[in-house]
Chains A and B, each alone.
Chain A
Amino acid sequence: MKSEFLLQIKELKATIDNKEILKGLNLEVKPGEIHAIMGPNGSGKSTLANVLTGRDIATVTHGSVTFEGKDLLVMSPEERAREGIFLSFQYPIEIPGVSMVNFMKTAINEQRKHRGLEPLSASEFLRQMREKKELVEIDSALTNRSVNEGFSGGEKKKNEIFQMAMLEPRLALLDETDSGLDIDALRIVANGVNKIRRTDTSVIVITHYQRLLDYIVPDYVHVMYDGRIVRTAGPELALELEERGYDWIRKEADVNEETWTTDRK
């Protein structure tokens, strides 16, 4: 039976260098939903993104992650991408000598092959490139260069959203996509995400700040602390965090640790 959830994370625990970072995390995302994950530094937000995309720096020790009912944790990073998971990197990597065009063409055709489709024709590929470039307002010259090489911080983030537009994922993870962006770039990036999204595309926004959520309005806001989601509410929670900071969450979570775990069961 097909799950009603696009992504289902149950009691996920993960370690980095034998230190437990995720300590029993639960999250369920339905198609088309937008979830924001907020939380102080070191709460495990980026580790979650790493675990979901298959980066081998973290080791999963417990729990399960399913994507459209399939076990995500047994898949290689490239398989996850072909299934429709996309990560917008917090720090996009510069790859000298690899052209954007070649990179995108290879990525798209690998994905099409996975879905049993023929490779895109050169003209169709270029048409899509043009269309998506306009969508995210990325400078045409940038896509003629090597991947992220010499791009400014803002251009790198736009380039992530451009790639997302090209690959049309089912689930987009935006890992601090707002960091290092001025307000104009932030608006362009956020609008890009909104324009790309189909009604069944799900988004997980990982962020410290409320401001991105003015543009990408979440259905749920989760607060992560010490490797777990300690509070879930609507968009108003983000505003409250903006105002009050995270300290009250910390105190509450430390006090409630025992009862909280029991409650969830």
Chain B
Amino acid sequence: MDYRPEVINKLSEIYSGSHGTFLKNSPEIFNRHRETAYKEFLRLGIPDRKNEAYKYTNLEKSFGYPYQVYYSPVPQDFREAEKFHCEVEDLDVWNMVLLNGFFPRGEEGLVMLPGGIWVGSMKAAAKQFPGLVEKHYNKYVQGENDGLVPLNTAMASDGLFLYAPKNTAYTKPIQIVNLLHSDQDIFAQDRNLVVVEDRAQLSLLVCDHAISPQHFLTNTVTEVYVGQNSRFEIIRVQNQHNNSGKITHTFIHQERDSYASSNNITLHGGLVRNATWHMLNGENSETHSYGLYLADKQQHIANFVKVDHAAPNCNSTQLFKGVLDENSSGAFNGRIMVHKIAQGTNAYQSNNNILLSDAARMDTKPQLEIYADDVKCSHGATVGQLDNNALFYLRSRGIDAREAKLMLMFGFAHDVIKNIPIEALRERIDNLVQKRLRGELSRCASCAIQCN
């Protein structure tokens, strides 16, 4: 039986019933887009497997669950959040902790970091930079027929705002630790905006941690504007538990001579789906989408990537790798669209997977649409076991079979990890992946949840 009508009814009740609360607690710009988005959501609904982009991802496990709280955190939760301490040693970042996607002190103003970069809540941003928010909010979302994007627009009330004005740069990455912590089952939706103006630079690290065992579902939309000759990096580290669902939609819009990279490192999570949209809107730009996912038990991890070459002479890379064990499943859907105008395009895509058990499953699907003539495009996908020749090579040097297998898996994963632009984090992820593959501790030690 289709679980969705009931869920949509419930969401509609919340939408209409708490409409007043929404309006009162949200930036005015959010409210202005709500009604249209809500209608759009009702038209599209929650995606099911008839939707091409969700063909291998069943959302029922996460969306069918009866959550108690649908959008807003309670104040006492924040006290817990402030105790959180990131374990990565030597990680030189500017750090901020969010709770279920919300700022502990959401009403306060924005913070200006050295170098002239602004960070804070969307609420504060809408007051301080109304023109800027107006210019970029809800401008880069696509989603074709994905109802979850308008659902976020209809119901989100706050999120992260990051702003690098023209010619600004901050030497350290900005780390956002997004904690999921509550004594209730939560469905949270946060809405984020990053604006990197011309000749500016920004590096963003987003860490998702679930620190209490409740059921969580987050549906996150992040819009990123990358101006001319500017640079933007985003790294997501997803380390949640088997009862959590994490849906992200990231829209990266690039102008000419710009550089962007996205790294999605999924170490743990019940249901994870990352959609990363790269729009190369200006000539001579470069964009990279990387992803690594490790799954076991009943976990499902999906990555959807779309790279739009909408301007000439741009380069793009997609490199996604996964190791799947036990009954886990994964999906990769990578699209490259080369528009008629985009001559001189270089687009590369690769998705490689290792299945460690007979029950593990991976569906991978490249899609290329090319309307220009002068284009270099390559794509490749593999699903398989470890390379026997390489295994024998290691063993022939005296390394035992188990260790050799781990070395190969680790090497396989490192191919993605090595693209993480922050060294201390790269080492930490190497370390976490090694532990995870060895079947030792698979989460940060501060995580109280035992998924087993």
B50 at the interface (CB under 8 A from A): no
User: Which among A38-46, A91-99, A126-134, A196-204 touches the partner chain?
Assistant: A91-99
A89 at the interface (CB under 8 A from B): yes
Interface hub of B396, B398, B413, B414 (most chain A Cβ within 10 A): B398
A107 at the interface (CB under 8 A from B): yes
Min CB gap A77→B, angstroms: 4
Task: State whether B397 touches A93 (Cβ < 8 A).
Answer: no
A66 at the interface (CB under 8 A from B): no
Known: A77-B392, A97-B410, A102-B407. A167 touches B398 (CB 8 A): yes
Contact with A along B412-437 (1 / 0, CB 8 A): 11110010000000000000000000
Contacts of A53 in B (CB 8 A): 396
A195 at the interface (CB under 8 A from B): no
Task: State whether B394 touches A97 (Cβ < 8 A).
Answer: no
A146 at the interface (CB under 8 A from B): yes
Contacts of B111 in A (CB 8 A): none
Known: A93-B393, A106-B403. A98 touches B398 (CB 8 A): no
Task: State whether A106 touches B399 (Cβ < 8 A).
Answer: yes
Interface hub of A80, A82, A106, A146 (most chain B Cβ within 10 A): A106
Min CB gap A179→B, angstroms: 17
A133 to B400, CA, bound (A): 25
B408 at the interface (CB under 8 A from A): yes
Task: State whether B397 touches A98 (Cβ < 8 A).
Answer: no
Known: A76-B401, A106-B403. A81 touches B411 (CB 8 A): no
Task: State whether A92 touches B415 (Cβ < 8 A).
Answer: no
Scan residues 44-70 of chain A and give those whose CB is less than 8 A from a CB of chain B. Answer: 53-55
Closest to A98 in B: B411
A163 at the interface (CB under 8 A from B): yes
Min CB gap A148→B, angstroms: 9
A85 to B403, CA, bound (A): 19
A110 at the interface (CB under 8 A from B): yes
Contact of B400 among A78, A89, A92, A103 (CB under 8 A): A78
A114 at the interface (CB under 8 A from B): yes
Known: A78-B401, A106-B403. A96 touches B411 (CB 8 A): yes
Scan residues 16-38 of chain A and give those whose CB is less than 8 A from a CB of chain B. Answer: none
Task: State whether A95 touches B401 (Cβ < 8 A).
Answer: no
Task: State whether B398 touches A103 (Cβ < 8 A).
Answer: no
A174 at the interface (CB under 8 A from B): no
A86 to B418, CA, bound (A): 31
Task: State whether A96 touches B415 (Cβ < 8 A).
Answer: yes
Contact of A97 among B393, B396, B412 (CB under 8 A): B412
Task: State whether A110 touches B414 (Cβ < 8 A).
Answer: no
Scan residues 100-119 of chain A and give those whose CB is less than 8 A from a CB of chain B. Answer: 102-103, 106-107, 110-111, 114
Min CB gap A48→B, angstroms: 15
Task: State whether A103 touches B397 (Cβ < 8 A).
Answer: yes
Task: State whether B398 touches A110 (Cβ < 8 A).
Answer: yes
A87 at the interface (CB under 8 A from B): yes
Task: State whether A95 touches B400 (Cβ < 8 A).
Answer: no
Min CB gap B238→A, angstroms: 21
Contacts of A146 in B (CB 8 A): 411
Contacts of B411 in A (CB 8 A): 95-98, 146
Known: A98-B407, A102-B407. A81 touches B412 (CB 8 A): no
Task: State whether A82 touches B398 (Cβ < 8 A).
Answer: yes
Min CB gap A145→B, angstroms: 12
Task: State whether B398 touches A114 (Cβ < 8 A).
Answer: yes
Task: State whether A95 touches B393 (Cβ < 8 A).
Answer: yes
Contacts of B398 in A (CB 8 A): 78, 81-82, 107, 110-111, 114, 167
A89 to B393, CA, bound (A): 9
Known: A97-B413, A97-B415, A110-B400. A103 touches B407 (CB 8 A): yes
B16 at the interface (CB under 8 A from A): no
A163 to B400, CA, bound (A): 17
Contacts of A87 in B (CB 8 A): 396
A96 to B395, CA, bound (A): 16
Min CB gap A167→B, angstroms: 7
Task: State whether B397 touches A95 (Cβ < 8 A).
Answer: no
Interface hub of B396, B397, B399, B401 (most chain A Cβ within 10 A): B397
A103 to B399, CA, bound (A): 9
Contacts of A97 in B (CB 8 A): 410-415, 418
Contacts of A110 in B (CB 8 A): 398-400, 403
Closest to A148 in B: B393
Known: A95-B408, A96-B411, A146-B411. A55 touches B399 (CB 8 A): no
Known: A78-B400, A102-B407, A103-B407. A92 touches B393 (CB 8 A): yes
A80 to B414, CA, bound (A): 29
B452 at the interface (CB under 8 A from A): no
Contacts of A106 in B (CB 8 A): 399, 403, 407
Min CB gap B34→A, angstroms: 47
B76 at the interface (CB under 8 A from A): no
Known: A95-B390, A97-B412, A110-B400. A78 touches B395 (CB 8 A): yes
Contact of B395 among A76, A86, A167 (CB under 8 A): A76
Contacts of B415 in A (CB 8 A): 96-97
A89 to B398, CA, bound (A): 15
Task: State whether B407 touches A93 (Cβ < 8 A).
Answer: no
Task: State whether B396 touches A77 (Cβ < 8 A).
Answer: yes
Known: A97-B413, A97-B414. A81 touches B397 (CB 8 A): yes
Residues of B within 8 A of A (CB): 387, 389-390, 392-401, 403-404, 407-408, 410-415, 418
10 residue pairs, one from A and one from B, having the closest CB atoms: A97-B411, A81-B398, A97-B414, A98-B411, A107-B397, A77-B395, A93-B393, A110-B398, A82-B398, A78-B395
Interchain residue pairs with CB less than 8 A apart (20): A54-B396, A78-B396, A81-B395, A82-B398, A89-B393, A95-B394, A95-B407, A95-B408, A95-B411, A96-B411, A97-B411, A97-B413, A97-B418, A102-B407, A106-B399, A107-B397, A110-B398, A110-B400, A111-B398, A167-B398
Residues of A within 8 A of B (CB): 53-55, 76-78, 80-82, 86-87, 89, 92-93, 95-98, 102-103, 106-107, 110-111, 114, 146-147, 163, 167
A106-B399, A110-B400, A114-B398 are known; give 18 further A-B pairs, CB within 8 A.
A54-B396, A55-B396, A76-B395, A78-B395, A78-B399, A78-B400, A78-B404, A95-B390, A95-B407, A95-B411, A97-B413, A97-B414, A97-B415, A98-B394, A102-B407, A106-B403, A107-B398, A167-B398
